[in-house]
């Protein structure tokens, strides 16, 4: 299928969005650090003093601009094209973290950035065209089909379990809890954003969709999902290293969003098997790049730990368990990493 003008518009908007969002991660984290230093209460443990920090609000405004561009992009191009391009935000975040937050980017991280770009190009080249939609009621019928209802029900149950059971017990020691909540809700918010964006696009074209209750229901879902996402994303950023949160969040969010879009909008209908395989390969390359960025950061931290303190360095699983500041509490005791992890888990 040829690359349409709508797809091109969606790609440009998605790239701009990723640039803004990637920068906002760093600015917001600087704001979170300032707020925590001023008040002594971190967002990761329930503090909300960052709402009084101007730098955090600057980051939030930049993120809103990026999200607005992303919102419009979904009205022009399918989610299987727009969402993977969010890999650029990982690149921007990693590079800015290197210079601003002093979270060093290893040479392997540079390779990861290149892989993200290469995978994104593959996805863009083989992306499907946006399927024509004539009304919000048509989207509503897609959202209420049994397959998507099953997906949506599963997401709600999983989020409920994570929030009620896992977040209080290990949310501050396991990065997958907070990012999992963000990613699951994010997949639903993207579907609603696409539905709402398409409705507004049709309205601007002269086909008023604001008279239908489905449009306002999609707007309510967007607001609800975004609020939940922002709350737990702030907790994740404040508790764990940015270079860990960003790629993990991207991988989970993108995978779930593409799955939801394929179920709801049937993006792959009409595409050949070879084209779909090419898209999947591009997606795998992007995921590999984000994982390599994470591994590179972990390698750099491990090397620094060995050089500056003890012969042994904590494993990736231990570092995911300990977050940002917990490891320092036990540095002078020369406690094995696994014992550190166990102690911190018991403290929660």
Q: What is the pLDDT of residue 185?
A: 94
Contact in structure between 78 and 265 (CB atoms under 8 Å)? yes
Mean pLDDT of 305-315: 46
Give tens-digit pLDDT for 74-122. Answer: 888 888 888 888 778 878 888 888 788 777 777 788 888 889 888 888 9
What CA–CA distance (Å, rounded) separates 340 from 335?
6
Residue 21 has pLDDT above 80, yes or no: yes
Instruction: Kindly report the average pLDDT of the chain as a whole number.
Output: 81
Taking Cα atoms as reference points, which of 64, 59, 61, 51 lies closest to residue 27? 59
Reduce the secondary structure of the chain to three states and give it as a string: CCCCHHHHHHHHHHHHHHHHHHHHHHHHHHHHHHHHHHHCCCHHHCCCHHHHCHHHHHHHHHHHHHHHHHHHHHHHCCHHHHHHHHHHHHHHHHHHHHHCCCCCCCHHHHHHHHHHHHHHHHHHHHCCCCCCCCCHHHHHHHHCCHHHHHHHHHHHHHHHHHHHHHHHHHCCCCHHHHHHHHHHHHHHHHHHHHHHHHHHHHHHCCCCCCCCHHHHHHHHHHHHHHHHHHHHHHHHHHHCCHHHHHHHHHHHHHHHHHHHHHHHCCCCCCCCHHHHHHHHHHHHHHHHHHHHHHHHHHHHHHHHHHHHCCCCCCCHHHHHHHCCCHHHHHHHHCCCHHHHHHHHHHHC
Give tens-digit pLDDT for 163-205. Answer: 999 999 998 889 899 999 999 999 999 999 999 999 999 999 8
Residue 290 has pLDDT above 80, yes or no: no
What CA–CA distance (Å, rounded) separates 273 from 298?
37
Q: What is the pLDDT of residue 43?
A: 65
Owner of token pair 């990761």? 44
What CA–CA distance (Å, rounded) separates 314 from 336?
8
Q: What is the pLDDT of residue 298?
A: 61
The first and second tokens of residue 25, run together, are 């991660």
Query: With bands split at pLDDT 50, 70 and 90, how would you rate the model's confidence at 326?
Result: very low
Query: With bands split at pLDDT 50, 70 and 90, how would you rate the model's confidence at 2?
Result: low
Mean pLDDT of 286-293: 82
What CA–CA distance (Å, rounded) separates 271 from 313?
48
């Amino acid at each position: 299928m040829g690359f349409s003008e709508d797809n091109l518009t969606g790609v440009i908007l998605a790239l701009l969005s990723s640039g803004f969002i990637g920068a906002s991660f760093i600015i917001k984290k600087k704001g979170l650090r300032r707020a925590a230093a001023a008040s002594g209460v971190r967002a990761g443990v329930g503090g909300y003093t960052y709402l009084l920090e101007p730098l955090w609000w600057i980051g939030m405004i930049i993120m809103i601009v990026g999200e607005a561009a992303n919102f419009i992009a979904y009205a022009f191009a399918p989610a299987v094209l727009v969402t993977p391009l969010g890999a650029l935000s990982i690149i921007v975040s990693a590079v800015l973290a290197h210079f601003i937050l002093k979270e060093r980017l290893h040479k392997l991280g540079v390779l990861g950035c290149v892989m993200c770009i290469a995978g994104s190009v593959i996805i863009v080249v083989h992306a499907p065209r946006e399927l024509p939609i004539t009304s919000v009621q048509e989207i509503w019928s897609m959202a209420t089909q049994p397959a998507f209802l099953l997906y949506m029900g599963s997401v709600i149950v999983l989020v409920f379990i994570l929030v009620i059971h896992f977040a209080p017990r290990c949310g501050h020691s396991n990065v997958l809890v907070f990012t999992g909540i963000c990613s699951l809700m994010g997949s639903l918010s993207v579907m609603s954003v696409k539905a709402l964006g398409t409705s507004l696009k049709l309205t601007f074209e002269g086909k008023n969709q604001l008279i239908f209750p489905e449009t306002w229901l999609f707007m309510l879902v967007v607001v609800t999902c975004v609020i939940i996402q922002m709350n737990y994303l702030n907790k994740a950023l404040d508790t764990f290293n940015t270079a860990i949160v960003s790629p993990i969040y991207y991988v989970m969010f993108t995978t779930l969003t593409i799955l939801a879009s394929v179920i709801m909008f049937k993006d792959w209908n009409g595409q050949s098997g070879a084209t779909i395989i090419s898209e999947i390969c591009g997606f795998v390359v992007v995921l590999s790049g984000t994982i390599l960025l994470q591994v590179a950061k972990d390698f750099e931290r491990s090397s620094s730990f060995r050089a500056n303190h003890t012969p042994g360095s904590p494993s990736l699983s231990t570092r995911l368990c300990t977050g940002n500041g917990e490891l320092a509490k036990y540095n002078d005791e020369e406690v094995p990493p696994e014992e550190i992890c166990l102690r911190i888990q018991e403290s929660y």
